[in-house]
Amino acid sequence: MSNLSLEKREPYYVQFYHMIKQMIFEGKYQPEERINETQLAKEYNVSKSPIREAIRILENEGLLVVDKSKVIVYKPTLKDVMDIYQCRMALESFAVKLTTKIATDAELKDIEDTLKTTETAIQAEEESNKIISLNENFHHLILTYCRNSRLQKQVNNLKALINYFRILNFKGELRAKEILGQHRKIFDYIEQRDEISASTEMIKHLELDVKHLMEILNVTEEKT
């Protein structure tokens, strides 16, 4: 089922948490697919306890749904997209405003270097996982350099679903270049220390993400 081999150096529940999460992100566990605790425990020769603890964490993150005695993979809805992205627009537009205002020149260079690395990865046709990770890092650096730990915590509470939607949002032949272009526009305003325009551009970027996700989910729902 997975390439995971359990190691004693890390608690089993942590290893199961990462394994199940990765399989959800990679589509090996499909939305509404049931997670069989007994089967996993038998396959890896462990008790159900670490698996249940991993499931509890993933349920709190929103990636699994416990329905009576069943554990199923979260299925995204159009409402979920809107709710998550409205939160992101409010939080990240303010974060980029702060970063534009207070980040050091060296920190701005970190953000710019991430964009350059992303462009190189796209040109080299690197694996999508690497490019998605670089896109995530762009947003992460903006949040880091805003120096507001409470704001960062609010975004972090949504991190699992944000990453889930980020992977889904990457579908499409030209998506990597489109997203990079939008990130460059945001950074141009950050570099100019134009906090209002940077904030506005971040909202536009996230609105375009929503539009793309709506199209993907509508197509998915039509096929089911």
**Model confidence over 135-182: pLDDT tens digits?**
999 999 999 999 999 999 999 999 999 999 999 999 888 999 999 999
Given the structure tokens 């270049």, which residue do they identify? Answer: 177
Percent of the residues in the chain that have a pLDDT greater than 90, as a whole number: 88
User: Domain 78-223 adopts which CATH fold?
Assistant: Four Helix Bundle (Hemerythrin (Met), subunit A) (1.20.120)
Distance CA 71, CA 24 (A): 13
pLDDT tens digits, 89-134? 999 999 999 999 999 999 999 999 999 999 999 999 999 999 999 9
Delimiting residues of CATH 1.20.120.530 domain(s) in the chain: 78-223
Please provide the average confidence, as pLDDT, over all residues in the chain: 93
Query: 37-54 burial string, b = 16+ CB within 10 Å, else e?
Result: beebbeebebeeebbebb
* Per-residue pLDDT, 173: 83
Least confident stretch, 63-72, 179-188, 197-206: 63-72
Distances in whole angstroms, Cα of residue 163 to Cα of each of 12, 62, 133, 135, 214: 23, 11, 9, 10, 16
CA distance 139 to 110: 12
Q: Which fold has domain 12-73?
A: Arc Repressor Mutant, subunit A (1.10.10)
At 70, is the secondary structure helix, strand, or coil?
Answer: strand
Residue 10 pLDDT > 90: no
